[in-house]
Structures are given as structure tokens and as C-alpha cells.
Amino acid sequence: MEEFSACSGLEVNQGKSNIFIAGNIRVPKEELVEVFGFPEGTLPIKYLGIPLASKRLNASDYGQDEMLEKGSREDAISLWRKWFSSKGTQEAYDWFRPREERRFWAKYVWKDFVPPKYSFTTWLAIRGRLSTKDRLVFVDDLDTTCQLCGRQDESVDHLFFKCPKTWGVWGKILEWLGIARRSVTIKSVIKWAGRQSRGSVIVQTAKRIALMAAVSLIWKMRNAVIFDGKTWDTTRVIFQIKEATYSILYSRYSPDQVVLHLPDR
């Protein structure tokens, strides 16, 4: 989508777009819908609730049945009169368009300057697909307690934001990025970060890289503790996150500008 925008100068309006899937595909269509962030559309394609077709339409094609399912005939007539008198094309479109949860994170997570391993781990975490212990219910006699703190069952939310070990990492990284807000889920921190426009481009880029690097590197260290018998090292994880962030920033911007906007504190 970004290549399309760069070549054409056009931007896809996510509020007015649907994805249509046909033919034999190698991946589940749910994953395609997740990646692109558009609701799945159905045929025939409709505009203002009316099918776009070359044949003569029947009365039922004019959205009558769909409107009557949601209210009385009087309500339907009232809506049509309102749209007609105010030329409310947008209102009518919004009423008929199928609604799904907006995947706010898709546009934030997938960027060409973010290493794919960081984006992919974050994507799995947001979707609840990381193999945290609470998801391994099929394993007999599995101790679901968090291996890092030993206090609560391990889940995505606990591992990344409620575990005191990992919060030692997040606290320092958020302070370094100038983020005062404390979030309790990955979705909430990315949703908040995606809406923030304050600060220079360098700082905004750093936030995107560092947040996803933190998710990926915390997960990597967690695996090393469980499977390789390593000891949790907060200082090392913080260093790795900063190192990854600065490395990408230096490849895109002047080192002097990077240090000016994002000093290592």
C-alpha cells in the first residue's frame, strides 16, 4: 500500500475501503484482512446500499429489506428523505457500509524501516498469538506461572506490562522516549503512540522503532530464560533496544540531528 501511494501520489481511504477476496489463496483470508486492515466486502458491490449492476434492479435491491431489518418502514422513509434533502451521501454510505473493528495497529506496525522480526513479533502479540503459557493449555501438567517474576500466570498483558521484571525495561524506555503515559496492553500503547503528532519526525520514528523492538527483545529474552537457562538482565535488554533504535535512526538521519532530538539519558 505504501509503494502504491509513493508511485501514484494517492492515499487509500481506510474509512471507505473494503477488501474482496476471490480464487484460491495460500493463506487464510482472515490473515489478509488483518494485515490490510480493511473490512471484508461481499458481492455484489453496493453504493449507498444499491448494487452496482448492468441489469434492471428490483425494488428489493434498493436497500429496502436491509433497512426494514433495522427499523420500521416509516424509519426507512424518514432516512431516505433526510439523505435526499441534505444530499447526505456520506451519511447514507456510512449507514450501509459493513462495519468491523478498525485495526488501528496495521498501519503503525508494518513499516519498511522497522525490521520485519520486530513488526512480526508485535503483530503476533497484538493478535494474542504469541505462545505465552496461558495459551498452552494442551500441554499436560504445565506450570503457567510467569518464569520471570513467579507471581502470576503468564499472559501477553502480564508479560509485557504487569510483570515487574519487564516493567523495569518499559519504564526506562518510555522515560527515554519522553512518554509519561503508562499503558497496560500492547494495543493501548500503540494506539496512543499512533495518535501522537508532537515532536520531531526523528522522535516519532524512534518511538515506533523502540516500542516494537521492546516487544521483540523482551520476548527473545523471555525465551532465553525459559529454554536456555539464562538469567533475566534488564540492563542488557534496555541496551539492545536503544542500540537497535539508534542504528536505524543513524541510517536515516544525520547522527548530529539524532543525538540532538533523542539524547541517550
220-248, pLDDT tens digit by residue? 999 999 999 999 999 999 999 999 999 99
Tell me: do 148 and 85 sit in the same domain.
no
Q: What is the mean pLDDT of residues 47-55?
A: 61
Looking at residues 97-123, what average pLDDT do you find? Answer: 79
What number is the average pLDDT over the span 24-29?
Answer: 74
Please indicate, yes or no, whether residues 115 and 238 belong to a single structural domain of this protein: yes
Residue 149, in any domain of the structure: yes
Structural domain includes residue 80: yes
Whether 191 and 113 map to the same domain: the answer is yes
- The predicted structure's pLDDT at residue 57: 54
Please give the Cα distance from 185 to 183 (Å, whole number). Answer: 6
Instruction: Count the domains in the chain.
Output: 3
This prediction's pTM:
0.64
Looking at residues 76-98, what average pLDDT do you find?
60
Q: Cell 506490562, residue? A: 161
My answer on whether 71 and 141 are in the same domain is: no
Alpha carbon of residue 112 to chain centroid: 15
| 144, 134 Cβ separation under 8 angstroms | yes
Is the pLDDT higher at 6 or at 132? 132
Location of C-alpha cell 424518514: 78
* Residue 116, domain member (yes or no): yes
Check whether residue 116 and residue 226 sit in a common domain: yes
Q: Evaluate whether 122 touches 216 at the Cβ level (below 8 Å).
A: yes
pLDDT at 138 over 90: no
Same structural domain, 31 and 124: no
Strand (E) positions, 33-155? 46-47, 50-51
The verdict on residue 82 lying in a domain is yes
Position 41 in a domain: no
Above 80 in pLDDT, residue 208?
Answer: yes
Same domain for 21 and 143? no
**Rg from Cα positions in the chain:** 24
Q: Which domain holds residue 246?
A: 104-261
Look at residues 102, 257, 100 and name the one whose alpha carbon lies nearest to residue 190: 102
pLDDT of 184 strictly over 90 = no
Query: Is 62 within the bounds of a domain?
Result: yes
Do 138 and 214 fall within a single domain?
yes
Q: Are residues 64 and 85 in the same domain?
A: yes
Do 69 and 188 fall within a single domain? no
User: Per-residue DSSP letters for 4-65?
Assistant: HHHHH-----GGG--B---S--SS-HHHHHHHH-PPBP-SSPEETTEE--SSPPPGGGGTHH
User: In this predicted structure, what is the pLDDT of residue 39?
Assistant: 78
pLDDT on residue 17: 77
And the C-alpha cell for 88? 447526505
pLDDT category at 71 given cuts 50, 70, 90 is low
Residues 92 and 197 in one domain: no
68 pLDDT more than 90 = no
| Confidence bin at 155 (pLDDT 50/70/90) | very high
Region 137-155: mean pLDDT is 90
72 and 138 part of one domain: no
At 244 the pLDDT is: 96
CB atoms within 10 A of CB 130: 20
